[in-house]
């Protein structure tokens, strides 16, 4: 097990309808001037916007709306200007990962005098962070309990991750707020969680049995409950398990002791950056192909454990490993999302080389992955994603 | 899944030999006057005492030594007087759960003007807490990342848990510091961890699949590595997995969403309070008997899941559940600890009724357990622990 340092300060408020009675109280220590950050109109349509405003009736509220999926640096710049000009005390982010990620970079941009994109390119430029409270409406990214943020820059065709100085101060996790999440976004979120687990499960550390054992348990819950959430969108237990899975999969806990970095996320970020596709759907296309590429005599025991403890398979290592990869593909397909690049509208192959070069560079994939990938390997993954041959 | 609130602020420094270079730095923000709390002479014999003193050469150190297993309120009172009289800034606890638990109650006793035992009887009397840094030398209680402390009062024959205001500020978890832990304490610690997992796994909540899945993974790691640590005391990976298991089993994470309280711990606390036996060994005696008592048509599915996901058993629910309980007993026995009360020197049955009454009262066992236990049930558990009949 590798050495690690771990501290996660987020105050989690998990459960139904807690914000109405608790939000005002948790904001109080931070000040009176609030930036309310959100995305499109959905929180206005479903009443959440009104509930938050009612809870904050004693606060001075400034609004930043229109934060898009794959949040763009322009929204961050707009927020930076708002918090600076009005000397705002605290950000309340209401939404999914995109809104919260934008809020996070705004929170470190208040005390930064340059362009906010600098903070995405180099997280070391952050020196202070405003308090952040979030109200999560989508189970996917885990941003509600980590320091990370992913921001896109359409001008430079970059989608990059950065790190803030600490986790959100308070996260309200109300599963019932995800009842209205579409099938598409529910599936994409579940696949995102599955991928976060995979990026940490397939790791070169040999004896991280605590982390890996916990991951296996979370995997099983996601595999079980995602299909239920699709067919019964208001099933509280399904939504609760997916929500807590999203948090636990990426609050740092289950990757402790790990050796290597992530692989599929840097590759998918290229797809999202170039084509603005849904992140989780992109991960779902790439993951089974990556697994086939990663399977070797050396990695066979890990894939066999994945098959036994996650998918409940039995048999010899080779058959269990193969069946586990197929089961992964079948589960993703069962969530009714496209499983090929043409399925999400990507039919030309002209950008494959440029995207592969960038993924390898950003993710240090030749040296930093569970299995080493060079640019040709990544191009091959893209090419294998053009159809479902072999699955 | 039940609602829950979760916040855990401990800064974990996991790995070998970090205290020498990091301890002085983490103490610095808290002040210059340090209470160094420890137990017997073992840390002097193995050089740890000298390393800590060397790391703290620029600090003013006061010492509280002689904190015993099942830490006594008198040690806490002595510490309370020291921190008050010398206006000490921070406590550094070097040891296992007993030392850290005593330090925790001292940390809330500095600002309390009455007898420290009051704070054990009623945690609400605590109003402020000194910073605590611990250097863990025994993998067992999980105190290194939670608010809890268990203190004994030999005068009143009470062993009671209380809660401080926050978790330790920093915990150094160095698996190599447990290389010298005896077979007895290694086994007792592993059983303690196993019991913490069981107290949370056997829970009335139906759909806490995330927490329960994580517990299953940690169980497997403990079952695998405890025997290795017994036969190869300097096996780093064994010690690392047990150490991180002890923390994860009781830092709050894997009990989130739970419904009911603990059962076996309150019962064992009576044994320790009356006979000063090793806590983990007492838990090992009681746990398989409690499992037999708890198994019913209603609880069968949970015990069957326990058998399948923890012990890797297959078959119908009834056989898997029965085999899982037997496997639990066999594993405990394989750790070379006594599996009966006479084995730890308890041969008279005269205190059974008084201990049972107290356990039921303190643990609210009739209303608050996974299965309801009254005083007669607890007496029956003690009686069943007089021999190994049935195992």
Helix (H) or strand (E) holding A236: helix A236-249
Closest in B14, B214, B220 to A3, CB measured: B14
Closest in B16, B213, B244 to A210, CB measured: B244
CA distance B33 to A6: 26
Cβ atoms of B73 and B153 within 8 Å: the answer is: yes
CA angle B73, B78, B80 (to 5 degrees): 90
CA distance B75 to B275: 19
Give the closest residue to B310 by CA, choosing from B327, B285, B333: B327
CA distance A243 to A11: 15
**Residue B90's Cα: distance from chain center in Å?**
23
Cβ atoms of A176 and A239 within 8 Å: the answer is: yes
Instruction: Give chain A positions within 8 Å (CB) of B306.
Output: none
| Residue A40 contacts B where some CB pair is shorter than 8 Å | no
Closest in A12, A221, A256 to B5, CB measured: A12
Instruction: Give chain B positions within 8 Å (CB) of A5.
Output: 11-14
**Searching chain A, which residue's CA lies closest to the CA of residue B214?**
A214
Collapse the DSSP code of B57 into the 3-class scheme (helix H, G, I; strand E, B; otherwise coil) and give the result.
coil
Within 302-361 of B, beta carbons closer than 8 Å to A belong to 309
CA distance A246 to A227: 15
For residue range B105-147, list pLDDT tens digits in order.
999 999 999 999 999 999 999 999 999 999 999 999 999 999 9
CB contact under 8 A, B256 and A214: no
Quick count: other Cβ atoms within 10 Å of Cβ B296? 9
Closest in A11, A207, A218 to B7, CB measured: A11
**Residue A322's Cα: distance from chain center in Å?**
27
Q: Is B364 left (phi over 0), alpha (psi -120 to 50) or beta?
A: left
For residue range B140-184, list pLDDT tens digits in order.
999 999 999 999 999 998 989 999 999 999 999 999 999 999 999
**Searching chain B, which residue's CA lies closest to the CA of residue A210?**
B218
Give the closest residue to A280 by CA, choosing from A324, A220, A335, A232: A335
Residue A273 Cα, gap to closest chain B Cα (Å): 32
Within 95-154 of A, beta carbons closer than 8 Å to B belong to none
Cβ atoms of B218 and B254 within 8 Å: the answer is: yes
Instruction: Give chain A positions within 8 Å (CB) of B224.
Output: 209
Strands A158-163 and A148-153: antiparallel
Quick count: other Cβ atoms within 10 Å of Cβ A53? 13
Cβ atoms of B127 and B111 within 8 Å: the answer is: yes
State the pLDDT at residue A40.
Answer: 86
State the pLDDT at residue B323.
Answer: 98
Burial class of residue B76, CB neighbours in 10 A (0-12, 13-18, 19+) = buried
**Searching chain B, which residue's CA lies closest to the CA of residue A240?**
B1
For residue range B31-46, list pLDDT tens digits in order.
999 999 999 888 999 9
DSSP assignment of B129-149, as one string? ---EEEEE--SSS-GGGSSEE
Rg (CA), chain B: 20
CA distance A282 to A272: 8
B226 phi and psi, to 5 degrees? -60, -45
Structure tokens at A390: 């072999």
Q: Where are the alpha helices (DSSP H) in chain B?
A: 19-27, 42-45, 48-55, 73-85, 97-109, 117-121, 183-201, 209-231, 236-249, 264-275, 279-294, 300-305, 317-334, 352-363, 365-368, 375-384
Residue A241 Cα, gap to closest chain B Cα (Å): 7
| Nearby residues of A237 by Cβ (< 8 Å), 6 or more positions away | A225, A228, B1, B206, B207
For A380, half-sphere exposure in the C-beta direction (CA atoms, 13 angstrom radius) is 11
CA distance B324 to B305: 9
CA distance B96 to B196: 16
State the pLDDT at residue A88.
Answer: 98
State the pLDDT at residue A194.
Answer: 98
| Residue B17 contacts A where some CB pair is shorter than 8 Å | no
CB contact under 8 A, B4 and A14: yes
Quick count: other Cβ atoms within 10 Å of Cβ B390? 11
Residue B20 Cα, gap to closest chain A Cα (Å): 15
Instruction: Give chain B positions within 8 Å (CB) of A248.
Output: 210, 214, 253
State the pLDDT at residue A70.
Answer: 87
Interface size A-B, in CB pairs within 8 Å, comes to 131
Band of the pLDDT at B297, cuts 50, 70, 90? very high
Instruction: Give chain B positions within 8 Å (CB) of A1.
Output: 14, 175, 237, 240-241, 244
Instruction: Give chain A positions within 8 Å (CB) of B20.
Output: none
Q: What percent of chain B has pLDDT over 70?
A: 100
Residue B206 pLDDT greater than 90, yes or no:
no
Give the number of residues written for chain A: 391
| Residue A386 contacts B where some CB pair is shorter than 8 Å | no
CB contact under 8 A, A240 and B207: yes
Q: In what order do the strands lie in the sheet with B132-136?
A: A60-64, A33-38, A90-95, A132-136, A170-173, A4-14, B4-14, B170-173, B132-136, B90-95, B33-38, B60-64
CB contact under 8 A, A1 and B244: yes
| Residue B257 contacts A where some CB pair is shorter than 8 Å | yes
DSSP assignment of A100-141, as one string? HHHHHHHHHHTT--S-THHHHH-GGG------EEEEE--SSS
Closest in A7, A213, A241 to B220, CB measured: A213
Within 149-188 of A, beta carbons closer than 8 Å to B belong to 175
What DSSP state is assigned to residue A262? -
What ipTM describes this predicted complex? 0.95
Give the closest residue to A3 by CA, choosing from B325, B115, B353, B174: B174
B147 phi and psi, to 5 degrees? -90, -5
Instruction: Give chain B positions within 8 Å (CB) of A217.
Output: 209-210, 212-217, 309
State the pLDDT at residue B159.
Answer: 86
What are the b/e assignments for B301-319, b being 16+ CB within 10 Å?
ebbbbbbbbbbebeeebee
Mean pLDDT of chain B: 97
DSSP assignment of B10-32, as one string? EEEEESTT-HHHHHHHHHGGG-S
Instruction: Give chain B positions within 8 Å (CB) of A11.
Output: 5-7
Cβ atoms of B278 and B260 within 8 Å: the answer is: no
CB contact under 8 A, B240 and A216: no
Structure tokens at B167: 């978790």
Closest in A18, A210, A240 to B241, CB measured: A210
**Residue B43's Cα: distance from chain center in Å?**
20
**Searching chain B, which residue's CA lies closest to the CA of residue A145?**
B7
Closest in A6, A14, A214 to B214, CB measured: A214
CB contact under 8 A, A207 and B16: no
Residue ranges for chain A with pLDDT beneath 50? none
Rg (CA), chain A: 20
State the pLDDT at residue A71.
Answer: 93
State the pLDDT at residue B40.
Answer: 86
Quick count: other Cβ atoms within 10 Å of Cβ A176? 14
Cβ atoms of B152 and B73 within 8 Å: the answer is: yes
A interface test, pick of B169, B200, B217 with most A CB neighbours within 10 Å: B217
Residue A143 Cα, gap to closest chain B Cα (Å): 16
| Residue A221 contacts B where some CB pair is shorter than 8 Å | yes
Collapse the DSSP code of A337 into the 3-class scheme (helix H, G, I; strand E, B; otherwise coil) and give the result.
coil
> Hey, what's the torsion of the CAs at B99, B100, B102, B108, to 10 degrees?
160
Give the closest residue to A168 by CA, choosing from A120, A119, A133, A126: A133
Enumerate domains of chain B plus CATH numbers.
11-177 (3.40.50.1970), 183-384 (1.20.1090.10)
């Amino acid at each position: 097990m590798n050495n690690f340092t771990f501290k996660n300060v987020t105050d989690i408020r998990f459960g139904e309808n807690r914000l109405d009675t608790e939000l005002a109280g948790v904001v109080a220590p931070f000040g009176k001037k609030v930036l309310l950050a959100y995305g499109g109109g959905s929180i206005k349509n479903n009443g959440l916007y009104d509930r938050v405003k009612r809870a904050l009736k004693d606060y001075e509220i400034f609004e930043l709306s229109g934060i898009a999926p794959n949040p763009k640096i322009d929204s961050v710049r707009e927020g930076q200007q708002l918090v600076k000009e009005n000397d705002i005390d605290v950000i309340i982010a209401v939404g999914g990962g995109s809104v919260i990620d934008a809020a996070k970079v705004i929170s470190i941009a208040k005390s930064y005098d340059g362009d906010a994109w600098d903070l995405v390119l180099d997280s070391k430029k952050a020196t202070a962070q405003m308090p952040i409270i979030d109200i999560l409406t989508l189970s996917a990214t885990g941003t509600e309990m980590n320091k990370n943020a992913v921001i896109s820059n359409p001008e430079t065709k970059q989608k990059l991750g950065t790190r803030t100085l600490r986790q959100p101060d308070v996260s309200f996790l109300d599963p019932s707020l995800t009842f209205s999440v579409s099938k598409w976004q529910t599936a994409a979120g579940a696949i995102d969680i599955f991928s976060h687990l995979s990026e940490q499960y397939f790791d070169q550390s040999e004896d991280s049995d605590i982390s890996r054992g916990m991951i296996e348990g979370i995997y099983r819950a996601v595999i079980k409950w995602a299909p239920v959430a699709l067919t019964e969108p208001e099933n509280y237990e399904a939504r609760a398990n997916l929500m807590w899975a999203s948090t636990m999969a990426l609050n740092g806990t289950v990757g402790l002791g790990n050796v290597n970095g992530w692989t599929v996320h840097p590759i998918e970020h290229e797809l999202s950056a170039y084509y603005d596709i849904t992140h989780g759907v992109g991960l779902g296309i790439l993951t089974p192909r990556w697994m086939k590429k990663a399977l070797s005599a050396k990695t066979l025991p890990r894939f066999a454990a994945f098959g036994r403890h996650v998918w409940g398979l039995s048999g010899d290592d080779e058959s269990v490993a193969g069946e586990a990869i197929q089961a992964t593909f079948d589960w993703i397909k069962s969530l009714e999302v496209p499983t090929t690049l043409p399925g999400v509208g990507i039919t030309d192959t002209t950008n494959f080389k440029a995207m592969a070069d960038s993924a390898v560079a950003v993710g240090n994939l030749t040296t930093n992955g569970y299995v080493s990938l060079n640019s040709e390997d990544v191009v091959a993954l893209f090419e294998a994603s053009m159809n479902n041959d072999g699955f």
